[in-house]
Amino acid sequence: MKKTIDLLTLKAEARKKLNGYCRVCPVCDGRACAGEVPGMGGTGTGASFMENVKALSAIKVNLSAVHDIISPDTTTSFFGQQLETPIMAAPMVNYPINTGSGLTERDAAEAIVTGSHLAGSLAWIGDPVDTAMYSSWLEAMHKVGRGVAIIKPRLNHDGILEAFAKATQNGAVAVGLDVDGAGLITMKLKGHPVGPKTSEQLRELSQSTNLPFIVKGIMTVQDAVKCAEAGVDAIVVSNHGGRVLDHTCGTADALPAIAKELKGRVTIFVDGGIRSGVDALKMLALGADGVLVGRPLIVGAYGANAEGVRFLINKYTEELYAAMILMGCANLHHIDSRILFEKL
């Protein structure tokens, strides 16, 4: 008989295997791991990671149960893919240096990509640069037949195009760049220098692929508008989980102004500090079309491989479902700023 998973056992197993790289805290808020990059933390003081969690928890929602909505619909579709949930796995790579030797890159890729797929969701994969490690992610994506590939903003565009081509051959349904990786010195040390991209370069890269093109790492209205003008299909409001620049605002604080300007023109995703279905719902109410979860899914992978990742995405989706009942939202399109509490 299949073993059922419970959260406490999953976390205890993950804590053991992560061996101090992640403390698997009661709330994953960036305090215990501040400054641990490489590792699981946020860069510098860890303020940007912590701010993501704080900004979300400062938002309060309205409880409403006088209505007739009894079975809300959490399904959605992105990039032509029908999904059970708007909650997806964020791209996360380089497991040996970030999370220790408890899981190989191949095991982690298999757990994140297969687990997301089993939950009716979509995994986003990153760009470890190392060819063998990238192949592990491509193979995992190939097996389930779909995924989203986010490549580092390398100065060498041929390298980006080659990575896009490999992703396309292995089932990617969209590709993009994490432009907030523009300052990563480690990439230069590995022989793949990175840097910011102009609107013209984004347009060229977007036109170089037949797949939808995404820019991840947008925190200002100006950058978001430049992306839209460059013909980008989707953006991710993200500060890379606070791993690249200290003292940014939380993504929940950056999102509303960006959504106000661009909602409906480009697809808007967001990540950073999302730890529950209610957090996901808050982000949707602030204007996101879909959300990505990062670190907690590493805990899921370490705790119970693909089943652990499936368990957590299902758990968040069930929480989202329950919250939609208690806020009177029949489907994801019904979630908007009306569910957010405003003090008079």
Ligand X SMILES: Cc1cc2nc3c(=O)[nH]c(=O)nc-3n(C[C@H](O)[C@H](O)[C@H](O)COP(=O)(O)O)c2cc1C
**Beta pairing partners, 322:** none
Residue from 5, 10, 47, 90 binding ligand X (CB under 6 A): 90
Among candidates 195, 281, 264, 192, which has minimal Cα distance to 228? 264
Residue from 18, 83, 92, 148 binding ligand X (CB under 6 A): 92
Among candidates 169, 161, 101, 160, which has minimal Cα distance to 135? 169
Q: Is 120 left (phi over 0), alpha (psi -120 to 50) or beta?
A: left
| C-beta of 206 vs 239, nearer to ligand X | 239
Q: Does 197 bind ligand X (CB under 6 A)?
A: no
- Site for ligand X, residues 208 to 227, rule: CB under 6 A: 216
Q: Does 294 bind ligand X (CB under 6 A)?
A: yes
| C-beta of 162 vs 336, nearer to ligand X | 162
Q: Which stretch binds ligand X (CB under 6 A): 87-95, 198-206, 223-231, 283-291?
A: 87-95
Tokens of 127: 């760009």
Pairing of strands 81-83, 87-89: unpaired
Tokens of 12: 């205890």
**Residue 209 in 3-state DSSP?**
coil
Q: Does 250 bind ligand X (CB under 6 A)?
A: no
Residue from 46, 72, 86, 91 binding ligand X (CB under 6 A): 91
Residue from 43, 52, 74, 305 binding ligand X (CB under 6 A): 52
Residue 27 CB partners (closer than 8 Å, separation 6+): 53, 275
What is the x/- site pattern for ligand X, positions 124-163, by CB under 6 A?
Answer: --xx----------------------x-------------
Tokens of 339: 């569910």
Q: Does 273 bind ligand X (CB under 6 A)?
A: yes
Contact between 179 and 219 under an 8 Å Cβ cutoff? The reply is no
Residue 3 CB partners (closer than 8 Å, separation 6+): none
Q: Does 300 bind ligand X (CB under 6 A)?
A: no
Site residues (CB under 6 A) for ligand X?
Answer: 40, 52, 90-93, 98, 126-127, 150, 178, 216, 238, 240-241, 243, 271-274, 293-295
